[in-house]
Structure 1
Amino acid sequence: MTTTTIASADKQPSEYGALAVTIHWVIFFAVIALFASMNYAQGLDKADPLRSTMYNWHKAIGTCVLGLAVLRVLWIRIHGAPELVPSPRITEVIARISHGLLYLLLIALPATGVGMTLFSGRGIDLLGIPPLFEANKAVAGALHAAHGPLFLATVIVVFIHIVGALWHQYGRHDATLGRMVPWLRGK
């Protein structure tokens, strides 16, 4: 009887499976929702109850993104990821660095948001997560200060990721984008 462990699962899949593709796109659309909800909420008057509702949705979606990003990283560690489509060495280096940064940022950004909320003495109401810590303004402030720059870094890395995927599809005409867009497979 063979047991599959991280050490024995060194076979790399030839393409991403349905779960990996689904998690990728759910995170993508959730990040768009996070950006939109925050921009909308910040444009509202502080006394408007919709502002608080939008912030609550932002916190809940961000918490879900954190969980999904951790799940995606664990999934890749256990099941592996397809090898990169053969490309010039510099392209492969950029792809590996940008993917690593993207995973790091998709964990760090929502982690700072969740931490900021919890260290402000509040919970994530829409998910039923109660306040877990006493309010600590110093920690909450440090996490708040990190959240904005991490968001900007995430936008930059996502932009690089999208440009790279489009370059592979329309410049190199290879199978890279088809790995995450199933209807492009085989084209």
Structure 2
Amino acid sequence: MTTTTLDSADKSPSEYGALAVTIHWVIFFAVIALFASMNYAQELDKADPLRRTFYDWHKAIGTLVLGLAVLRVLWIKIHGAPDLVPSPRFSKVIARISHGLLYLLLLALPATGLGMTLFSGRGVDLLGIPPLLEADKAVACALHAAHGPLFLATVIVVFIHVVGALWHQYVRHDSTLGRMVPWLRAKD
């Protein structure tokens, strides 16, 4: 097996390269920050200025996640992804479906959030994005209505993704998790 390091931008046929791994983990931690910032903001009194700060950070991080998700999808389209490790057919089907859904949700969830902001006649202040669209309350409300269920779907698919990765690591004892966790990679 060819081993790549965090300094390598190329992937071998069996693992992801440094850029793909970095984007994966940045998105992972950003999604946790999005969840935490929204939960904390919603606990604050509406008059508390900190509430607005958390919403501003939520919008900025969500916009960055959208950009990173687009980059990740483009990177995979251009460079491909490693082949799945040998597994039973049902496992490969679940992996392909969950990855496809995860990419779709990582595009749709922040896109609805950004759309909701823009169609509310606001911008993303922390990123210097001005209000770009005429306010349209109906569209903003429709995007808001979609944002919550998309979040719930994302949580479910991420849970499946994590359980699958841990199943590969601790039940199957194969190299799947090591492709995204460099320190778990087998040493030649």
User: In 2, are the aligned partners of 1:12 and 1:79 still within 8 Å (CA)?
Assistant: no
Partner of 2:137: 137
Q: CA deviation at 1:142?
A: 0.3
Q: Report Cα offsets for 1:58-101 as digits up to 9, x if no partner.
A: 00000000000000000000000000001000000000000000
User: In 2, are the aligned partners of 1:118 and 1:133 still within 8 Å (CA)?
Assistant: yes
Partner of 2:4: none
Q: CA deviation at 1:134?
A: 1.0
Partner of 1:94: 94
Partner of 2:114: 114
CA distance in structure 2 between the aligned counterparts of 1:59 and 1:86, rounded to whole angstroms = 40
User: In 1, are the aligned partners of 2:65 and 2:110 still within 8 Å (CA)?
Assistant: yes
Amino acid at match of 2:177: L
CA distance in structure 1 between the aligned counterparts of 2:73 and 2:110, rounded to whole angstroms = 15
Q: CA deviation at 1:14?
A: 2.5
Q: Report Cα offsets for 1:113-156 as digits up to 9, x if no partner.
A: 00000000000000000000111000000000000000000000
Partner of 1:157: 157
CA distance in structure 1 between the aligned counterparts of 2:23 and 2:128, rounded to whole angstroms = 23
Unaligned runs of 5+ in 2: 1-10
Amino acid at match of 2:152: L
TM-score normalised according to structure 1 size: 0.93
Amino acid at match of 2:48: D
Which stretches of structure 1, 4 residues or more, deviate above 2 A after TM superposition? 11-14
Paired residue secondary structure (2:69) = helix
CA distance in structure 2 between the aligned counterparts of 1:55 and 1:121, rounded to whole angstroms = 15
User: In 1, are the aligned partners of 2:14 and 2:179 still within 8 Å (CA)?
Assistant: no
Partner of 1:62: 62
Unaligned runs of 5+ in 1: 1-10
User: In 2, are the aligned partners of 1:13 and 1:80 still within 8 Å (CA)?
Assistant: no
Identity percentage over the alignment? 88
TM-score normalised according to structure 2 size: 0.93
Q: What are the equivalent positions in structure 2 for 1:22-37 lying under 5 Å apart?
A: 22-37=22-37
Equivalent pairs counted in the alignment come to 177
Q: CA deviation at 1:12?
A: 7.3
Amino acid at match of 1:168: H
